[in-house]
Structure 1
């Protein structure tokens, strides 16, 4: 049965919510778009007049598609070159979804998306639907085909895993901006000591090049190791310019609701470094340089206003 315009409109009204759910589940904007489009194809093939609650039906279909992807993704990532990091979304990207509550904002933060990679597919689904979108345990249980008690247990387990791995302190936006500026000044000074003072003792730095851009296979751990790496990263070198194709401009913005340093060359985003900042200092740098995961960021960058770069890297 062909869809009416009203049927299409009903789906399109749900698309932003579906995209936001899929992105949180998959950590990939392109995979999220594919999952939502596959959900539409199933909506198109269904007898929609017999679907009593379209929102619940669409969420269940989408979730099952994402569960399949999460299961296969674990196999694919065993052969992934180097560290795997989520695809960053720059400020203003509609796929970031609702940000009315602290839980919604936190669920899409780069730090939590990285932590959710440790969860089982079911734990990830329960955490996202309950924590970010407020679905009752009963509805989550129906979507997954489990009991309500099992859904509650899975949620508490997932929430504990995420809480155990994240920083528990929050600082205001003005302080965050100052710390980012201090970091850039220290990183370009050529000295390690000022950088060490800005980091937590157990700071980490992770890069995702996907085998297409040089990135260390393992994370740097500890303030001194991270500071030494950052000093070298921002040190001018012809070899770096050759790899990137020039000297990118460095901007400070936000990605996934947290401070980020964006490198842009000829209108193309070539790197997004997401910072995890706590009251004790910078706890983590997660640097996405895989070009496949920066295409959407480039489109978003082109669609928004931004000032001149703070300086040119390399």
Structure 2
């Protein structure tokens, strides 16, 4: 064998080792993708931006030497956190939509009460009501709360992301925690009971049953409607049971075909007209009363819901 042939073999082996290493990193990243998406979604409240943040983490992984990293999952979590922090800061400087009636991107699944994983989904999902509260936090506060309280990242690691001391980072999380606790509704009943209450609301609203609606609405219920830029005129916040009941036009489309779904672990309905989703209504329930109604009427975001034609065809009158 000539020296050139031996050199070619060494090059081939190095290329194979490099390829194997890239393949291993790709498999490791895919194993963590769901976790990273969960971190980014809680940080951003946007499914598309969460995907962008996860993709940016993949690019950073490919550009970095992680051979000495002992905990790659932890490393990726902090990378996603840093990317999300930058995105939140950039968003804050250019945001045009008022936060008052903003409804975060929903994670939608067709309701199936026979699914044994349904109860787990309810407890493991982050509700829209909590995401609304998280939107009111500053970027560094949100990062500290999400990473520490939801994903058990240490304050030492978070401090390096926000460029603060661990003590100052602990204070960020503490302030955020107080605001979340003050604004987040109490836990609701089990999933089956929540669906019963949501069904009762829909039946009463379809039948114009004022007393039936009063029976399931908390006196201080809040309705938040988000029509996006296309239907900005319908965007509003309504407070109080009687005021919410008076919003009859909000529920008019649900007198047609309605598809029961689960949104971020909570009961919800999608109004379906000519095979298209036109309104999404999600419920936050505490005790035996509805304390929040989140209504998404933004055509662009509704069109992006993870619902197939077969799913939408299951809507009933």
2:12 corresponds in structure 1 to: none
Report the 3-state secondary structure (helix = DSSP H, G, I; strand = E; otherwise coil) of the residue aligned with 2:200.
helix
Kindly indicate whether residue 270 of structure 2 is the aligned counterpart of residue 270 of structure 1.
Answer: no
**Match for 1:258 among 266, 269, 291?**
266
Following the alignment from structure 1 to structure 2, what is the Cα–Cα distance between the partners of residues 81 and 158?
A: 17
- The TM-score, its normalising length taken from structure 2, stands at 0.81
Which of the pair has more CA radius of gyration? 2
Change (3 A) 1:248 1:11: farther
Following the alignment from structure 2 to structure 1, what is the Cα–Cα distance between the partners of residues 292 and 246?
A: 14
Cα distance, 1:21 vs. partner? 0.5
Following the alignment from structure 2 to structure 1, what is the Cα–Cα distance between the partners of residues 151 and 124?
A: 7
Structure 2: stretches of 5+ with no match in the other structure = 1-17, 111-118
**Match for 1:63 among 57, 64, 81?**
81
Change (3 A) 1:40 1:283: same
Q: What's the CA shift string for 1:56-112, capped at 9, x where partnerless?
A: 3222221111111111222333356983220000138xxxxxx9699853xx11110
2:6 corresponds in structure 1 to: none
Q: What's the CA shift string for 1:196-245, capped at 9, x where partnerless?
A: 3321111111111112135534311111110010x333347xxx9xxxxx
Report the 3-state secondary structure (helix = DSSP H, G, I; strand = E; otherwise coil) of the residue aligned with 2:189.
coil
**Match for 1:211 among 218, 222, 229?**
229
Change (3 A) 1:188 1:141: same
Change (3 A) 1:103 1:72: farther
1:135 corresponds in structure 2 to: 153
1:283 corresponds in structure 2 to: 291
1:1-314 superposed matches below 5 A: 4-79=22-97, 83-91=101-109, 104-105=124-125, 108-213=126-231, 215-229=233-247, 231-235=248-252, 249-279=257-287, 281-297=289-305, 300-302=306-308, 308-311=314-317
- The TM-score, its normalising length taken from structure 1, stands at 0.82
Cα distance, 1:253 vs. partner? 2.0
Cα distance, 1:115 vs. partner? 0.8
Following the alignment from structure 1 to structure 2, what is the Cα–Cα distance between the partners of residues 72 and 195?
A: 42
Cα distance, 1:177 vs. partner? 1.6
